[in-house]
A and B are shown apart, each in its own frame.
Chain A
Amino acid sequence: MVSKKYWLIGICLVLLGLVAGGMAQGVNFRFPRYIPPLKVVGDVANSLTLQDPGGVGKLEKITFQGTRYQAVKLADMINAAGPVNKAEQICLVGLDGFTSVIRAEGIDDCYIAFSAKNGWEAVNLKHPMSSNAKLLNEIVVVSDGSCRDFAFNVIDPDSQLVQITPGQLLTRPLTAFPYPEGKAVVENDGKEYESQVFTKRLVFKLSELTAVNDGENLLVMDEKGNYRLVDDGGYFEVRDNYINYLQPDTRTILERVKGVIVHPPAASITDAYYDAKHYLESGNKVLMVVLDGLTYHQYTSAVANGAAPFLEKIGSATRAVGIYPLETNVGLAAMLTGKTAEESGIAAAGDQVLKVPSIFAEAHRLKKQALLLEAGPKLLETELQPVSSTDQNGNGSADDELFDAIPANLDKGYELFMVRFHGIHDSGQRCGESAEETMQAISATDKYLAEIVSKWPGKVIIAGNPGTSDQLIGAAAKFNNHAMFVPYWRVK
């Protein structure tokens, strides 16, 4: 009997709970709780979008001027986003544009709270009251700008024109540009109703950062190796922690732009493919020499120092644009296919399989015999199996072994003879691009070239292959005027 009573009480409680739950659902349905997003952007590795006060860091109970808050430390938020290099300033940006800027050091007593009344709110216990911005929608982290690899770079062949980070750009005047997204149409009762959709983008023109003449060509490169030759008609968009290039007229978008080359030279390392193809089609024998790691800057230094008499003798090199990312295999693929990383399929250090035919396929089509001799490990899978030389004498380079292997192959009837030296790259990586050891490597290669070219009965193409700069390679390498240009020769 007692048991039955408990059962009845239990059932009643469950029903009560269900009713209460349903009511609560109803209340929620009528008054949904919405937390506006708060973004942490700028010079951070990962931009954050928060819609939960406890989403990042531990909520702490603090009291400020008699008001109690549950808040998260600003430093925890910034750390969660991963500041790039040294954060210098933090901008607390409100919905109405009100922005307070505080120094990034000394934010131990800074908190971010959320309340229905003030939205996201800065509660800085020791800063002036004006720093306690309300209705925040963005926290911008601004680094000291020393992190060159993260920066947006503008260069010309001779100099670094601009180096600026997304965070620094977000503190500058930017234009809110309505970027057209599309036009939807629906027909109702025989009439068409349209809806034009735009997204507001924060943009700037390159000419706002550096002098650019009207109609001047710009070579815009992204971090994956895509590039576009454009004019100054487009915009650069600052999006969270990266830069995009937008051309509304042609709807060209290049995401995560690494840098821009102003006055880009027409020559590119991809020319090696087109020139070799032209010569082969014209019935010439072609010797292609690839010098891994040799930049235009190193070449001019070597010539000035008398370290490259042969290269000096054959005439001034053309300054050619390299391919980003600065990886040896990416550059080699560009030379072998005439395509950028986007098209060749070789866009990162580990990539080996070409998506497009190489010059060896062209040689095969033209029924010309081809050979690839290279120092160092095989970098790419092509239509031709390369012959690799290894450092048998332990002098730190396989270039001498490669050079020794060349004479025996020169008179075997090859019409496309390709040689890839790697010693300059190795020295550059080991000692630095201007180090004496690297100049010695250039000097040794110069001697090899003098010997090979004098014995070759056809056309000669010599090209530097970017891929080394201050010990940095790939996406970490600097987009600067030293690393991005290589020397290029067409001889005879």
Chain B
Amino acid sequence: MKVGYMKLQLLLIILLLVVTMTACDQKAATPAGAPGKWDSEKIVVHGLQEQDFEITLGDLKKLPAVTRRAESTRANGKKIKVDATGPLLDTFLQQYGKTQKDFSCVRFSAKDKYSIAVPHDILVNRPVILSYINKGQPLEDDAQPVQVVIPGERAMYWVGSMNRMDFETGDSRKPANKVVFLDTAARNLPQGDYQYYDSVDQAIKTQDLIAKYADINDPTVARVFMKAGDGLQKNETKTNFLSAFIKMTGQEAPKFLAPQLPQGMHIKGLLLIIYGRTAIFNYAEGTTCLPKQTFEDKEGIAFSQIVKQIGLAGGNRYKFTSADGKSIELATTDLGNGGLIYQNDQGAPAFICTGPSGKKMVDELLSIEVLP
């Protein structure tokens, strides 16, 4: 009886040891935001501000984190299951007044030079987690500093050891290299009556506008980007866009609209249209929402502001063309103070700058083209 009791005691001790060893083997869960040795690892951010900048993993850890369970399959069939903890990409973007939906794609690059562009439809439909903890533990060294996790998407999008984010707006096409001023262009286009509630306003056809001032047959154009002065941004299909009008007078002008389009698709206070490589910019609307600048006795919008709004392709020379077809070519060094777009006495946009070669002016400004 005594021997049996001793055996039982021995068995219990062994069991206790086994349980203790197992428990010791399990690491304590790492809380979100806890400091770690990779906190100073840098991630380059491109496309959010005028110039690239760097953030660290430590910066990301300061943001509110979420934990999401997700599963994905690699190309070799291997399943990956994660409990990913980290800030949402939207939380990160919130600091810059942006959301995922604002971008046509976001390219994530890894330290091993792997990269993938996450397209707009995924950005619109899926949360993106900038994960630094998996299943309660810091990431493996080869995934540091951040593992991108997009629940519901293929593993090819789950970029580990992510060290660069490129945010792209508009489409993945080349940036615009020409800006046409709607205020001037509309004067040279046929305008028709447009019944708008109780008033009859004047409107131009978008088809006429694009046929005259852009490449209407550009095969790369599937969608047309539009932005309003109040910040509203929309992409419209080429077909819908080309079947519509821009109401140039009356309430809420300039307004993108069409009798066959629901009112929810109309855009009031139209500031910008990007059709392929041509941007259409409305100066008058710009004065309501963009910072103003004064040059000599003229108040207007800095040329650099318009370049920024449009995301105009970089260049060393620009061609400024007026409504009568006359043009001047200026190198960036000729712009001196940078140049100002202002409204002339006839209410049309005009351009002025003073550089090393003296004062240059273009009245009734129709377009500015970036020269190669």
Report if A266-B157 is in contact (Cβ < 8 Å); known contacts: A182-B117, A250-B237: no
Q: Which residues of B contact A321 (CB under 8 A)?
A: 262
Interface residue A211 (Cβ < 8 Å from any Cβ of B): no
Which residues of chain A are near B251, meaning CB under 8 Å? 278, 281-282
- Interchain CA distance A263-B204 in the complex, whole Å: 24
Binary CB contact string for chain B from 203 to 235 against chain A (1 if under 8 A, 0 otherwise): 000000000000000000011000000000001
Report Cα–Cα, A279/B251, bound state, in Å: 11
* B239 at the binding interface (Cβ < 8 Å): yes
Tell me which residues from 76 to 106 in chain A have a Cβ below 8 Å from any Cβ of chain B: none
Find A185's partner among B115, B154, B235, B240 (CB 8 Å cutoff): B115
B116 in contact (CB, < 8 A): yes
Q: Per a CB cutoff under 8 Å, which of A251, A266, A267 touches B121?
A: A251
Interface range, B side: 20 to 34
Would you call A182 and B264 a contact (CB within 8 A)? Answer: no
Q: In A165-200, which residues have CB < 8 Å from any B CB?
A: 181-188, 195, 197
* Contact status B222-A250, CB under 8 Å: yes
Interface residues on A, range: 35 or more
Q: Is B78 at the interface (CB under 8 A from chain A)?
A: no
Segment from A268-276, A410-418, A421-429 that makes contact with B:
A268-276
Question: Known contacts being A185-B114, A185-B116, A253-B125, is A270 close to B223, with CB within 8 Å?
Answer: no
State whether the Cβ of A231 lies closer than 8 Å to any Cβ in chain B. yes
- A343 vs chain B, min Cβ distance (A): 9
Interface flag for B76 (CB, 8 Å): no
* Interface membership of B66, Cβ < 8 A: no
Of residues 238 to 255 in B, which have CB atoms within 8 Å of A's CB atoms? Answer: 239-240, 251
Q: Is the CB of B113 within 8 A of A266?
A: no
Main secondary structure of the interface of B (DSSP, over half): mixed
Residue A352 is within 8 A (CB to CB) of chain B in the complex:
no
- Cα A253 to Cα B121 in complex, Å, equals 7
**Shortest distance between the CB of A281 and any CB in chain B (Å):** 8
A259 CB–B CB distance under 8 Å: no
Given A197-B154, A250-B237, A252-B121, is A274 in contact with B263 using a C-beta cutoff of 8 Å?
A: yes
**A229 near B113 (CB under 8 angstroms)?**
no
Question: Which residues, 92 to 125 on B, are CB-close (under 8 Å) to A?
Answer: 112-121, 125
Instruction: Give CA–CA (A295, B46) in the complex, Å.
Output: 52
A134 contacts chain B at the CB level, 8 A cutoff: no
Chain A residues with CB under 8 A of B113: 186-188
Select B264's contact among A185, A187, A339, beta carbons within 8 Å: A339
Flag if B240 contacts A229 (CB, 8 Å).
yes
Contact of A266 among B116, B120, B260 (CB under 8 A): B260
- Chain A residues within an 8 Å CB radius of B116: 182-185
Select which of A215, A229, A249 is within 8 A of B265 by beta carbon: A229
Inter-chain contacts of B263 with A (CB < 8 A): 268, 270-271, 274-275, 338
Using A184-B114, A253-B121, A270-B262 as known contacts, list a sample of 11 further A-B pairs with CB atoms less than 8 Å apart, ordered by residue number in A. A184-B156, A185-B116, A186-B112, A186-B114, A217-B260, A266-B258, A266-B260, A275-B263, A278-B251, A282-B197, A321-B262
Would you give 19 A-B contacts (Cβ < 8 Å), ordered by A? A182-B117, A182-B118, A182-B156, A184-B156, A185-B115, A188-B113, A195-B156, A197-B154, A217-B260, A229-B240, A231-B237, A251-B119, A266-B258, A266-B259, A268-B264, A270-B264, A274-B266, A278-B197, A281-B251
Residues of A within 8 A of B (CB): 181-188, 195, 197, 215, 217, 229-231, 249-253, 266-268, 270-271, 274-275, 278-279, 281-282, 321, 338-340
